[in-house]
Structure formats: C-alpha cells, structure tokens
Chains A and B, each alone.
Chain A
Amino acid sequence: MSVDRRALLLSAIGVSLGFAQDDPASVRPKPGDLLTKVGDAGKTPLTPNDIPLAAGYTAAWAMDPADNTVRSGSRLNQVLLLRFDPASLATTTREHAADGVVAYTSICTHNGCDIDQWLAKEQQLFCSCHESIFDPRDGGKVLDGPAPRALPALPLAIADGALVVAKPFTTPVGYERG
C-alpha cells in the first residue's frame, strides 16, 4: 500500500501522545515519520529493500521527515523491522505491513529488556533476559516465556518509496515495572 506522505503528516496533527515530553527526539514515532537504521550517522531513510526477507530484524528509529530529527531520545522508541512474504502474515499483521515489512517495539513487554535474538529456524523473536518468545508474523503475540502481552506494533506504509509510520503504536510501549 502506498500512501501520500502529506496525508500522513496531516493526520499526525491532533494525535495525542499522552505523555509529557515535548522533546521531538523523545516523542513516540508519529504518522509520517521515516525510519532509519540504528547507528546510521547518514540518517538514510529505509526502504523495504533494505530489510532482508525472512532473515532477522533491523533495529531502527523513527525520524521526523521535516528536519531529520531521529527520535532516539527514549529507548522506548526503538523498533525492530522484519520482512516476510505478505502471504505468510496473519490478517491484522498484513494490514499493518508495508511490502511485507512489519515493525514492533524492541522493548520486551516483560521487564523491558531489548529483544536481542532472532530464532532463524522458527522465525521468531527472542528476549534472552527471561526467555520470552514472540511471533512477528502474528501481531507479535507471546509464544513462550513470562511476557504478559504481545509486542506493540508500529503500522507502516510506503511514501515515495520509503518506509513511513502509518499510525502510532497499536498499544502503549512499556513493560512491568513492578
């Protein structure tokens, strides 16, 4: 699905983010934001072709398209991009995907570790802190371990060939803090 980026930018106006920080680097990804690889000093916007098919995740930040502010001010903003054959995705996940690319928070819903492993054989995401396993092809749902809920997804679209954020996170990013 290709969406006019201006429409997405307009739709971002009036989105209530529900938290206090106004720092553009810390606010959660907004509709219309581009995505750029973690550690890419050149801030290159990612396209679907940058994400390897069925071969692990690419860690990324959202980036304000107006001034290229990378939203890396909060670790809760980091996302994992993965690409699959759209036919292999569950229906809702397919609706959130752009060219087979899906995005989830990198923050484990259990106690907030960064999800740090890709189980290649099973095509699953793994958090080594307490061994929670998530299914990226089915809404980030919990397959094993103590994580209490699915990974929040970040719906994507394509604008001018680049991956962009289509909607805010489907559920609040966060974890059990006691």
Chain B
Amino acid sequence: MRRLIFAAWLCAIVMGLPAEALREGGQAPAPPPPPPRVPAEASREGGPMPAVLRAYAAVDADRLAHPADGDWLMVRRTYDGWGYSPLDRITPANVARLQPVWSFSTGVTNGHEAPPIVNNGVMFVATPGNQVIAINAKTGAILWRYKRPLPEDVVLLHATSRGVGLYRDKVYFAAGEAVLVALNARTGEEVWTTKVAENKAGYYMSVAPLVADGKVIVGASGGEMGIRGFVAAFDADSGKEVWRTYTVPAPGEPGSETWPNGDQWKTGGGPVWVTGTYDPETRLTFWGTGNGGPWMGDQRPGDNLYTSSTIALDVATGAMKGHFQYHPNDSWDWDEVSPPILVDYQRNGRTIKGLIDLARDGYMWFLERTSGPINFVEGRPYVKQNVFMSLDPKTGRPNVDPARQPGTGREAEFCPSHWGGKNWPPVAFSPKTRMVYVPANENLCTAMIGRPVTYTAGRGFTGMTNNLMIAPGADHIGEVQAWNVDTGARVWTHPFAGSTNWGPILTTGGGLVFSGGTQDRLFRAFDAATGDVLWEFPTNSGIIGQPSSFSIDGKQYIAVQSGWGIDSRTMQARLNRVRPGDFPEVPEGGAIWVFAIK
C-alpha cells in the first residue's frame, strides 16, 4: 500500500478494526502508534469525526462556477483566474488591526506555493513533499494529513505543489512523481490514483488540478529534460483518462510544419505547470505553455508551436480551438505558463471579451477570446525589455533583435532575465478598481550561451549556461504594479528597494491587495486604489504562497503559506553572487498563517 492513512480514526471506527489492520500487503511503513484519547479536533487521529467534516459540503459544478463569497474552492478562487475575493469586511480603514488568528507548521521546508483552499470551513493545503493537510479553518485544528512517499530516485526539479482541486466529496492532488491522486475529503484516504506520465522520462507535477465539466485537468513539468508537454483530463469519479492534448504537434497535425527538423517534436518541451483558466460560456479552457526544448532556438528551427503560447482547449474533447504564441522559437527560457485571466475590458469605445496575460517575456498582452481563435489586441512592455524591437500590429508577432537572441556558442545579453518580468506567481484582478495587480521583477537581465546537447530520457536537456545580472543604475528589483485594464495605463507601482518579488497576489472586495514575495518575510496589505502599504507582518519565512480569503460566521479571514524556496531561493543565491551580502539566505520552513481583525 503506497498511501499513508493518518485519518485512521475514521476507518477504524467504520471498519471496527485497529489501525494496523488498514495495512495491505505488509509493504507500508508501520503506522504511528494509536494516539492518546484527546478532545475531537485537538488531534489528527482518534475520537469521532469532527463536526466540520461530518457537515462537509460536497462541491458541485454550480458551486465551482458560482462560489459563495466566503468560499475559496479552487486555486485562483474562480475560473476566470482573478484571485479576487468579494469579501469586504477587511478594509483600508481597519486593516491596521489585522492580527494572526492561528498558524500551523507544515513540517517541511522548500517552496510553499499552494493557496489555502477553503470549503465551508474546511481548509485544504498542499505542501512540498507530497503532502495535503486538512484543517478546521476557524480553529487551526488538524483534521487529517495525507503524505505520499516520494520515490527515492524521483525526478522532481521543482519540489512543490501549487494547490489542490475540489469536486463532490473528493480532493485532487497532483503528486510530484506525475501521479494524479483523488482523496476522500472527509478522511484523507486515497480513493484512486492514476499515473499521468513517466517520471523516469522527466515528467513531474506541481500544478493544481483544474476541475471542470466533471473532469480533473492537469499538465506536467519537465521542459528542462526534453519532455513533450500536454494537458490531460481525467474522469473525476474514476480517474480514467478522457483526453490528452499535446502542446507540441506530431507530424501531420496542425502546427507540425513549425517543427521541420525530423523528430525534434518528440522532445520539444512546452511543459504545462500552472492551472488553466476556464470560460464556462464557450467551454474553452486556456492554458499557458512553457518554452521549447532544448533551450536554444537555433537548435530547433521553426516557430515551434505551441511552445510559449496560450492554447484554448474544448473542455469536453481536448480539441485545440485556438492559440496565441507570445514569441516564436524561444531562446530565453521564457516559459509562458501563466494562463491568461479572463477579463472583459474597454478599448476604443468597444467592450472586448478579453484575455490578459503578464508574460515572462516582459510584455503585457491584451487578447480577445472567441468561441475558437484567440485574437491579438495589443502588447506593451511592463518591465525593461530589449529583445522585441516591435510587434506586428495585426498579429502581435514580435520582431526580435538578433543581437539579443542567444544561440549555440553565441552569447547574448537580454532583459528581462530568463526568470522573466514575472514568473509563475499569479496576478490578481479586481472588478471594483478595474486594475490588474502584478508581482514583477524589474532591472534583471541574463547573459546566456548555448552549447550542443544530446537527449537522454530524464536528464538535463537545456544546453545552455547563463549569468544573472542587475541592470546598471538599478535602484530596486521587485515591484507590485497596478494597471487599469480599460485604459491600459499604469496606475501605481510599489518598488522593493532591497528585494526581488516572488509573491502571488490576492485582491479583495474590501479594496485591498495582499502579497508577500520579499526576502524580509513580510506579508503586506496595500490599498488597492493607491498602492499605499497599510499593514505588514513578518512571518516565519519568505512568502511565495498564493494568499486566499474566506469567511466563517460572517468573519473575514486572510490565509497564506509562508515558506521560501525553489526559484525564489535560486535567484536569491545568484544575486548574492552579484552583490555579496545584499541577498542573504532567507529562513526556510513552511507554515500556514490565518489573519483576521481582532
């Protein structure tokens, strides 16, 4: 048995058996000894099922499409990807009184990127180390803990999880070794597991599953190792695969003409590791795709569709109905995995059913969504960008400065850096302010040079060396930016003089923006209209987790994981080489924090 059942109390009661009897086949590590009897919810085991779980509210399609204000049922709360909670009890007037209500140590280090997902008072948090914890959101009492042992030789280059998905009475978790897991929401027991892809070939997962149309939809990472990216959907009840659409076409498929060179499509990259958005009206789901493999464009001639793109897939069949490639033939590691958010915006007196993406390539893209094709509307840099000389006004295709495109044996310097103007941390949009809030890194550039590389399954296939640089004269790096989507104008910028910014963003109906992301471990509240910092709190570690907001009994809470690691740590170490002492190590170790007005 590969699962560890910590919610043994339930099974033991239901089955009338001691916890040891739950082991099958004798392969599992011995379960922990029975805990002392303690009041319900004070322990993760023992005692009757806590009331909050007995009352667990199954999630249906309607609740996913129209969540109650107090719930946070999916990674960005709603299908449009806004990261917006309509709750408005916490406001610029009272946020100074925000205080911790409870915190909870996850027991693991490394980057904690998942949001606390909350359904009717039950919180589900995914952490590094293949762990999902269920907690009473009001009290902080643990309900159950699921931990799936990672294989000793797992290939897992970004050891994190970006969250769980909910449907009916199940919790869906993408395990690092590329296995999709369905858990019983009340007990934390595995209901089914499905192997999504071959981990030994370099496929691994960190994505939060998207639940739509009765399916659980995921993609896989591994672009550094020459995988062929895909988005795949599984039946939510059975775990059976329903469809799989590759982000790199096979010969004969549309787009295959952009891979003229033999079998390169087989190792062409285009990984998918950030949850897509979904438009229930057109039943299209939008996913961002990573860069091509190997990393140097001159080693894989052609535009290399559908790498560094957004693709629109029919949720029922997976058929690709539209795409927009941000930049063809990527050579900068600009993995465009953030999906566009769905926002209808004004342009020239017209309302456009829109898509907006703040891309790793340093451009803010305004697009139009239809029942199929994705149309270009406009693009503009939001950070220093010296690679695109112009965009084709009709198609948006960038005109690339060849001196800024690295190649095999040919070094080039370019800005933004290979981590991008913004990496994976998601933007947020407030329908009240009409602003999109962006966690950006300004003033970073990269020098990169390519080298020949041969493919071996599950091994590095980047074929490059790079150096991170700070732009001359830079007075800051990290930023939170606010842009009005109707005018396309920047409204405010909050610079972080001494830090990068790796903080996902939450915005609320109360007129606030919440985010961490900096090396000083602070979690902050900004005035959504002006960018003024109204509150800040130093947590245990740096915050790269996605904040969420929920309410119980009419009280609004703000929740976030603090736990620095993965790319934020790598960038920190690189910068400390450039300016020794300015970018010290950030304390590590994960914790969940929940705040409210006292």
Contacts and interface: CB of A to CB of B under 8 A. Distances in A.
Contacts of A128: 460, 462-465
Nearest to B468: A131
Interface string B361-400: 0000000000000000000000000000000000000000
Contacts of A114: 459-460
25 contacts: A74-B152, A74-B153, A76-B153, A111-B156, A111-B157, A112-B153, A113-B224, A113-B459, A114-B459, A126-B465, A128-B460, A128-B462, A128-B463, A129-B224, A131-B465, A144-B573, A144-B577, A145-B574, A177-B176, A178-B108, A178-B110, A178-B129, A178-B130, A178-B156, A178-B160
Contacts of A64: none
A135 interface: no
A38 to B, nearest CB: 10
B583 to A, nearest CB: 13
Interface string A103-132: 000000001111011000000001111110
Question: Most chain-B CB neighbours within 10 Å: which of A117, A127, A130, A178?
Answer: A178
B176 A178 contact: yes
Interface residue SS majority, chain B? loop
Interface of B: 108-110, 127-130, 150, 152-160, 176, 224, 451, 458-460, 462-466, 569-570, 573-574, 577
A103 B88 CA distance: 61
A107 to B, nearest CB: 8
Contacts of B465: 117, 126, 128, 131
Given A76-B153, A174-B152, A113 B460 contact: yes
B569 A146 contact: yes
A178 B588 CA distance: 12
Interface residues on A, range: 20 to 34
Contact of A177 (B150, B458, B573): B150
Interface in A22-52: none
Contacts of B158: 111
Contact of A113 (B110, B129, B157, B451): B157
A112 B160 contact: no
Interface string A59-101: 0000000000000001110000000000000000000000000
Contact of B460 (A19, A74, A116, A146): A116
A112 B200 CA distance: 12
Contacts of A176: 109-110, 159
A146 B573 contact: yes
A144 B155 CA distance: 22
A170 B146 CA distance: 33
Contact of A129 (B152, B460, B466): B460
A34 B437 CA distance: 59
Q: What 4 A-B pairs come out closest when comparing CB atoms?
A: A178-B159, A178-B128, A178-B129, A116-B460
Contacts of A145: 570, 573-574
